[in-house]
Amino acid sequence: MKMIPKTLEDIASYIVKDGKGILAADESTGTIEKRFKSIDVESTEDNRRKYREMLFRSPAMAEAIGGVILFDETLRQKAQDGSYLRDVILNHGSLPGIKVDQGVKELEDNSNEKITTGLDGLNERCREYDELGAKFTKWRAVINISDGMPSTKCINENMLALSKYALIAQENNMVPIVEPEVIMDGPHTIDQCYDVTKNTLSVLFEMLDKKNINIKGTLLKPNMVVSGTENSHQANYKEVAEKTLDCLNSSVPDELPGIVFLSGGQSDVDATAHLDEMNKIGGFKWKLSFSYGRALQQAALKAWSGNDSNLEHAQKAFSHRAIMNMKASLGEWSESLES
């Protein structure tokens, strides 16, 4: 990579430039163990390295991926040739980032509401991550929809934690990705998802403003406004796109450089189609892109199945999904491109 962007504004803009998005490869050791179990592969450090190196060396990295969110182990890990995986990412023109939250716990005893942990010691961790070459960070808040949920307390405390995290990240020269995820599981309607998402985002940007966060050096990773997974009416691509854009336009400041959606359990093609539909509608100032984990990796994981002879086949599967999502970020995707 010839020139690594230096300022927060330049880093944030670089990640979402020209339809590029983010590969979320920050699965915890427990999560990746479950993914590996699905393909009957043991989750050893070397297998985790092998799998992620395969993704990072895929042909589409340079074309479609502006940033990669890593888990702590991966940021420190070396590739097979002895170079650091973070340098493999940089050499493909992408920027390494790091997940810095430490998971969720119950907001109150016997509560289905969650609060994200990790503020204790965060400044020290971020200082080290900056020294290790991370250019951006990610912190996820979890908001569930159910009877009486989310509570005002749940939204306020999670958005306050996101704002505190964002300040610490920026003070350590790294772009914060703020991720308030309204979970799609449940019987709720798309309108309920809209109301909760809008409220959550409004509180988030109010909190960020109070902390004097540099919005031009920040990225937002939200859910799309979708029907609950158990709802009998599943909104179509157009309805999801229109409601999501309406929600974002009413709560997100124009100066934010980019919105990188999470896939949240959507199928690979649904996540791509929804993003494409929004970009075809247009009429917003931010870049609208992707920060997908499973929706970018699932096909590659199955193709690889822990077998070295499948590496090239798996890289092609990953590259296909990455290119499809880049085209969706430009509003240039169509279902015919999937065949």
User: What does the pLDDT look like over 133-149, one tens digit per residue?
Assistant: 999 999 999 999 999 99
Give the pairing type, strands 114-116 and 104-106.
antiparallel
9 carries an active-site annotation: no
316 carries an active-site annotation: no
Q: Which of 27, 179, 181, 277 is catalytic?
A: 179
- pTM of this prediction? 0.97
Confidence of residue 110 (pLDDT cuts 50, 70, 90): confident
Task: Assess whether pLDDT exceeds 70 at residue 1.
Answer: no
User: What does the pLDDT look like over 43-80, one tens digit per residue?
Assistant: 999 999 999 999 999 999 999 999 999 999 999 999 99
Confidence of residue 3 (pLDDT cuts 50, 70, 90): confident
Q: Which of 114, 221, 243, 287 is catalytic?
A: 221
> What is the pLDDT, as a whole number, of residue 289?
98
User: What does the pLDDT look like over 329-339, one tens digit per residue?
Assistant: 999 999 999 98
Fold for the domain defined by 8-338: TIM Barrel (3.20.20)
Q: Where are the domains of the chain?
A: 8-338
